């Protein structure tokens, strides 16, 4: 199958809707422009991939740099289309806005180029790709530990908001 930008947008919305309904997820409950702007800054300040940095530069017109916070704060209006898109009130018209939205909701199969190359909408087919889980029983915890291939997950107690991805 050939996946389109519309498939990508829908997968991003589904990820957002699943996570926003989860009581463990507070990050995206508020869709105000200033809140989304601040969330965006936090994500980029924490460090993201080269692809994500390219999205930032393309969307905002300047490279991410922690010294440019004041310039970034002036870009609050750019988040309005993202908020209305997530509320299903409007559609996004640019790929850059769509890719930035994917970053904000932590959609793993981004940017669109990677989503299209992947050849599947695994998030829609496998909701466990989400980092937010409502419950996590012992059997699932054992499976995650086995699939982590030696990665230390011994401190994981099933109640954390961030769950290792299963691929």
What pLDDT is attached to residue 135? 35
Give residue 152's pLDDT. Answer: 38
Q: Which residue has the tokens 């993202």?
A: 82
Look up residue 16 and give its two tokens.
């957002």
How confident is the model at residue 24, as a pLDDT? Answer: 61
Q: Are 7 and 15 in contact (CB under 8 A)?
A: no
- Asked whether 108 and 13 are in contact (CB, 8 A), the reply is no
Looking up tokens 């970034």 gives 72
pLDDT at 25: 64
Local mean pLDDT, 10-residue blocks, the chain (167 residues): 87 89 67 90 90 94 90 93 93 95 92 78 46 37 36 36 38
Give the predicted TM-score (pTM) of the model. Answer: 0.69
Candidates 64, 76, 1; CA nearest to 33 is 76
d(CA 14, CA 77): 24
């Amino acid at each position: 199958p050939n996946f389109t930008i519309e498939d990508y947008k829908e997968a991003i919305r589904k990820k957002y809707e699943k996570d926003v309904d989860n009581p463990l997820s507070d990050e995206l409950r508020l869709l105000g422009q200033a809140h989304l702007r601040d969330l965006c800054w936090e994500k980029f300040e924490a460090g993201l991939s080269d692809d994500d940095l390219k999205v930032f530069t393309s969307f905002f017109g300047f490279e991410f740099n922690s010294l440019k916070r004041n310039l970034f704060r002036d870009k609050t209006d750019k988040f309005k289309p993202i908020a209305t898109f997530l509320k299903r009130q409007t559609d996004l018209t640019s790929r850059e806005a769509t890719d930035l939205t994917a970053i904000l909701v932590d959609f793993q199969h981004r940017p669109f180029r990677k989503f299209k190359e992947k050849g599947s909408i695994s998030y829609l087919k496998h909701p466990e790709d989400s980092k937010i889980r409502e419950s996590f029983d012992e059997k699932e915890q054992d499976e995650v530990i086995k699939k982590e291939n030696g990665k230390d997950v011994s401190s994981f107690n099933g109640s954390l908001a961030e769950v290792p991805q299963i691929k």
